Amino acid sequence: MQSSDDFFRLVRSWLTIHLPRARRLSPHTIRSYKTALTMLLTYLRETRHLELSQVTFDVIDRATIAGFTLWLTDTQHLAASSANQRLAAIKSFLSYCAGEDPALVALWLDVKQTRPARTPARAPDPLTIPAVDALIRAPGQHTRRGLRDTTLILLLFDTAARIQEVLDLRIADIDTAPGRGRVTVTGKGHKTRTIPIMDKTGRHLDHYASVFHPGKAAPEALLFYTTRSGRPQPMSQDNVTFLLNKHARNARTDCPELPERIHAHQLRHARAMQMLRAGVPLPHIKEFLGHASITTTSIYATADSQMVRDAIQKAAVTTPDPAPLWKGNDDLILQLAGLT
């Protein structure tokens, strides 16, 4: 019989040694894996009434993980794709455990068969170009924060980069030379790609850098940052989501078509749809977006066809080190396991 001590010791070594050192995953990816484990513990507490000290490998099996996946979608209201990311993280953890302890191989093989949540084919939800324009103009450029937010929103749209790709940009990744401006982003799988930018975007970046990075900035300095206790700190995705929705509320007076909730990926979708309608071939859009497969990119073509059909219908209608024993309160156990 496995003990709680065995479970949390493997949690700790997986999070603090295997993922960062053996697999060399980014801190962002490790945080995502940590979130998956934390949610599994929450599921066991809410549905099985198990305290952390009672959690062992004996309470985990295929039925448990299938129930966990269903709980994520039905109770936590996660999208199927997000639930499947959590499921993949749990499977990855158990695969590691099986490699560390042969007694867990049978558990791993059982859980491995858990089917992912069904992901419905869903068209992207891009902003219209007037909505993008209103959102870019909303912050204004008369204050430091307004200048930062304008530049950030413009860059998200112009590059169609993922939000974390933009937040990870360093000064050395930017080239604003007229006629050949570009940024180099690091995407999924640590793959880099170079994205051309408009001269207008380059001028905004120059203005932004003169205010937020005066003088000779260190090449490794983060392009975008927030200040806490007088020190620059990385911006989070939540920071960006907050500022996007704040400016959307202000812009909605002049542009009612801005949706109630805005997320950064809508700017990426908007740029991709704009390129498609301008006649840019799908293979080129695929490289621009950093998609691994053109199948992912082709959803934009499907979405465009669906928009045409919707418009027609509307017109017709309207005219390391081993841890100590895992005992103590829940907060202490989570801290020792690396889950806080």
The per-residue pLDDT for range 208-251, each reduced to its tens digit, is: 999 999 988 899 999 999 988 888 899 999 999 999 999 999 99
Q: Which parts of the chain have pLDDT scores under 50?
A: 307-309, 311-327
What pLDDT is stored for residue 311 in this prediction? 45
Give all domains of the chain, ordered by start, each with its CATH number.
4-120+323-336 (1.10.150), 129-297 (1.10.443.10)
CA distance 135 to 271: 14
Question: Shortest CA distance to 195 belongs to which of 103, 124, 272?
Answer: 272
CA distance 271 to 158: 7
Q: Give strand pairing partners of 184.
A: 194
Question: Shortest CA distance to 56 belongs to which of 6, 106, 20?
Answer: 6
Question: Shortest CA distance to 93 belongs to which of 76, 75, 107, 72?
Answer: 107
The tokens describing 150, both together, are 């304008």
What pLDDT is stored for residue 215 in this prediction? 87
Give the side-chain half-sphere CA count within 13 A for 34. 21
What pLDDT is stored for residue 317 in this prediction? 45
Contact 263, 241 (CB under 8 A): yes
CA distance 24 to 59: 30
pTM across the whole model: 0.58
Q: Give strand pairing partners of 196.
A: 182
Q: Is 324 helix (H, G, I), strand (E, B) or coil?
A: coil
**Residue 48 per-residue DSSP state:** H
